[in-house]
Amino acid sequence: MADKPFIARGFHGRRAAAPAGRLPPGQYETRDFPVLSAGPTPHASLATWDFTIRGAGDASPSMRWSWDELQALPHETPTVDIHCVTKWSKFDTKWEGVSVDTLLEAARAAGVADGAFVVAFCDGGYTTNLPLADVTGGKAWVAFGYDGAPLPPEHGGPARLLVPHLYFWKSAKWVRGLTVLPDDEPGFWEQLGYHDRGDPWREQRYRGDP
């Protein structure tokens, strides 16, 4: 169905050369921090904000943290490269947050059943699914600080999921919790064909990409 494309003379877009080895295939470096959203910015009140980890089904045990309770947990300050499926990558982004490992450990102690998959759910209705293995072992955070300041709403504040080793649509903005599931359940973009895992180093952009 695709025709041979017409090449626009002298067009290269806004792209900079980047150090070899640091860019996943098909990506370009940006110095900006583009805002991409699937919907309007939700505005949460910290007084009523909470983060919940639960299992499948309404009767599942769950573990819940208020904003203050989350802040009381050990903070980490990861500096990471991030990669958006729309092809921009940003190097050395500085975050502050709580490791998802810490939260899952507490959730397990509270009786939340283990499972191979998680779905992140968010204010505004956004969801994204990931293998549990991709949010454990020091690979993921609930992040509330960016570049030394509170995470601004347009970038997901008060808190977002941060999973930098996967495409950035998995780092769900305005996150309010994780559901741990035995079976995978496609989230907002995955329902439309984006990849269930999303490893930028293997260019797992769409379902069916190996």
How far is the C-alpha of 63 from the C-alpha of 100, rounded, in Å? 13
Segment 32 to 71, residues that bind another protein, using CB under 8 A: 32, 34-41
What character string, x for contact with another protein (CB under 8 A) and - otherwise, covers 4-23?
Answer: -xxxxxxxxxxx--------
Residue 199 interacting with another protein (CB under 8 A): no
Q: Which residue(s) pair with 185 in the sheet?
A: none
User: Tokens representing 208?
Assistant: 């069916």
Total site size for another protein, rule CB under 8 A: 42
Q: Which is nearer to another protein, 165 or 207 (CB)?
A: 207
b/e per residue, 134-171, with b = 16+ CB within 10 A?
A: bbeeebbbbbbbbeeeebeeebbbbbbbbbbbbbbbbb
Q: Which is nearer to another protein, 34 or 138 (CB)?
A: 34
What character string, x for contact with another protein (CB under 8 A) and - otherwise, covers 167-196?
Answer: --x-------------------x-xxxx--
Interacting span for another protein (CB under 8 A) from 58-66, 84-92, 93-101, 177-185: 84-92
- According to DSSP, the β-strands at 88-99 and 28-29 are parallel
State the nearest-atom distance from the C-beta of 15 to another protein, in Å.
7
State the nearest-atom distance from the C-beta of 124 to another protein, in Å.
8
Q: Which is nearer to another protein, 5 or 21 (CB)?
A: 5
**Cβ 164 vs Cβ 28: under 8 Å:** no
How far is the C-alpha of 158 from the C-alpha of 45, rounded, in Å? 9
Strands (E), the chain: 28-29, 50-55, 62-66, 79-83, 88-99, 117-122, 127-131, 141-146, 149-150, 160-162, 175-181
State the nearest-atom distance from the C-beta of 41 to another protein, in Å.
5
Q: Which is nearer to another protein, 8 or 109 (CB)?
A: 8
Q: Which residue(s) pair with 128 in the sheet?
A: 120
Residues that bind another protein (CB under 8 A): 1-3, 5-15, 28, 32, 34-41, 85-87, 124-125, 153-154, 169, 189, 191-194, 205-209
